[in-house]
Amino acid sequence: MGVYLSTPKTEKSSEDGENDRLRYGLSSMQGWRRTMEDAHAAHPDLDVSTSFFAVYDGHGGNAVAKFCAKHLHQQLLKHEAYLAGDLGTSLQSSFLRMDEMMRGQRGWRELAVLGEKSKKSSGLRNWFIRTSKKGAVNGKVDDWAYEEGPHCGFRGPKAGCTACVAVIRGNHLLVANAGDSRCVLSRKAQAHDLTKDHKPDLEVEKYRIQEAGGFIQFGRVNGSLNLTRAIGDIEFKENKHLPAEKQMVTADPELNSVELCHDDEFFVIACDGIWDCMSSQQLVDFIHEQLKTENDLKVVCERVLDWCLAPAACGVGCDNMTMILIQFKWPSNPGGSVINQQASVVRR
């Protein structure tokens, strides 16, 4: 059956949590695919005032998605712009930093450990674990600041992943997106897309691809990749005359900033396995209907995944599926700032 199983794997990995500002639930399911390539991160208390949620949808393997789930929020916390309160600059830099980190020797080792084929290189995995426990590699502290440079013959991962990240601080919601995972806000039960699917038919994407020496064939970059922004996918990022944000496929995220108000009930981050089956408004409607009788947000997510799952291994509903549902806790008094209907999109 190629990339599909004879029967779907419907077991779900689900969790939930909350703080004084919000509560969340999430769920992921392998479905009909032979492997699970999605990853996610949920940190409602990234620091005392900030929450972080992300979905990473892998293609060509799961290692890059897992790598981002492990490291992207950590790089965000370390960035000097984040410490200065500049969420946009620090998010953009953290996306681009993932590609840089994966090109070096430590990145190569981690990808081997995280990837599905790591069992075939157990010697490498065991060596990595031993050196990590010692806290040093080749006499250096095992930290990214001491990156040793590229591994011989390794330019970077051929696989890649989308990245859709939402950061909340106070009434400010900032979404960074590269790829076709999507973030949608429900305001007065109306769906507001906070991201754009990065596909080759978009004029701004097509222009960058062609300027970088690429082409579009059959709706794909160089006839291969159906995304125009992603982390990893190093074969599309090898033009030495261009910066990272101008490569034919770039990890440079599109940023969208909104000021939240009491009309905003919740938002969703989900991979394209969900959006292939439901429009943004259909998903918002489905969630509102579920919340009338179900208070457990992870259960609501699980029901969305079940609804989207195809009855047979053909057509839509056969992809991996991951969804995070974040619901706001507003104080009893109404008011607050008004959402910016023409939310600013920052392109760098």
pLDDT one-digit tens code per residue, 260-308? 999 999 999 999 999 999 999 999 999 999 999 999 999 999 999 999 9
Structure tokens at 149: 């440079």
* Residue 13's pLDDT band (cuts 50, 70, 90): very high
pLDDT exceeds 60 at position 330 = yes
> What's the confidence (pLDDT) of residue 343?
38
C-beta neighbour count of 341 within 10 angstroms: 8
pTM over cut 0.85: yes
* Residue 124's pLDDT band (cuts 50, 70, 90): very low
Between 61 and 335, the more confident residue is: 61
Segment holding 87, helix H or strand E: helix 87-103
**Alpha carbon 168 to chain centroid, angstroms:** 16
Strand partners, 167: 52, 174
Percent of the chain with pLDDT over 70: 84
Distance CA 130, CA 136 (A): 9
Distance CA 222, CA 70 (A): 30
pLDDT exceeds 70 at position 118 = no
* Interval 145-168 mean pLDDT: 81
Distance CA 175, CA 254 (A): 8
E strand spans, 132-181: 136-137, 140-141, 160-161, 163-169, 172-178
Between 250 and 341, the more confident residue is: 250
4-104+156-330 placed in CATH 3.90.1150.10? no
User: What average pLDDT is seen over the chain?
Assistant: 88
* Residue 152's pLDDT band (cuts 50, 70, 90): low
Distance CA 44, CA 49 (A): 9
- Single-letter residue type at 72: L
Between 145 and 303, the more confident residue is: 303
* Interval 36-62 mean pLDDT: 96
Say if CB 55 and CB 61 are below 8 A apart.
no
Say if CB 316 and CB 309 are below 8 A apart.
no
- Single-letter residue type at 81: A
